[in-house]
Structure 1
Amino acid sequence: MKKTSILFLGIGLFLAGTMIQIDQRFFQEDITSTGVVTNQAYEQSQKELSSVKEQLAQLQLNLENAQKEQPNEPHKEENKQQASSPPVQGFTLSITSGMTSSDISSLLEEAGIIQNQMDLHDYIVDQNLAGRIQIGNYEVNSSMTIKQITELITN
């Protein structure tokens, strides 16, 4: 191709692009239907929120009424719960080099400190704390939560 042909081709493409830009900016209508849908969705969500608030208020009233109707004997229930709950078990957890969160979980389940080893293991993995487990001896007991045990062995 000759230089002049390439020059005219470039000028033609430039003009075509310019015309498309002008057409889009000045002659095409803005599409605002998404704004209408968003406003409608917002109004609908506000109505739903109001409905949920009303339901919550009604449930709170029902709860208050139910609590008023119950006889005032909380001490008997507390004594029943204390009698039925198992005694707190203590355990010295020894973490040595190379132990994994799975190993620690198994030890604690065998000692009766936790009920399910997978709960502790999954919590440690989900919180990305496996690499922060510290070597040492730790006093744990069955009244501790998984979070408390994890904080103890990772700090």
Structure 2
Amino acid sequence: MNKQSVRAFAFGLLAASLALLVYQEAAGANSTSLSKSAMIQKLEKEHYVVLTAKEAIQQKQEKEQLQQKLNRFTAKNDQNGSPKKEKTRQKNSYTLRIESGMSSSEVGRLLEKAGVIEDSEKFNTYLTDNGYAEKLQVGEHTVHPSMSMKEMAVVLTTK
């Protein structure tokens, strides 16, 4: 190795270091923190549902009330019914798996196909008109044909 090749190698290291420094400075200037509304918009683009604490508490309370109502209904039928009715009710319950990116119309079609609802378009219109369509939660949800549209909507939008 001669003097000239050592100088060229040193100059290359210096140029690479300077380029890295300039890149880091530029990247640091672009990484500003997002505002609250920008964060919400970004999450909603990724099909997440953003709820305020008050909305989340309200949904949980609605879900608990509906669960209590379902439990009372089930208990009342158990007292009045026979074992055959229990088996029928078990068959009629349906566990729906909502995947990321599924639309409310797809959910409606699955429920109609399973025999839980009669009209998927009517159900989709209800979800859209009442603001539930954008709040569907990914995961497994158990619904029953005896549930009202509101009850199903609350179950499908609550984890």
TM-score when normalising by structure 1: 0.43
TM-score when normalising by structure 2: 0.42
**Greater Rg over alpha carbons, structure:** 1
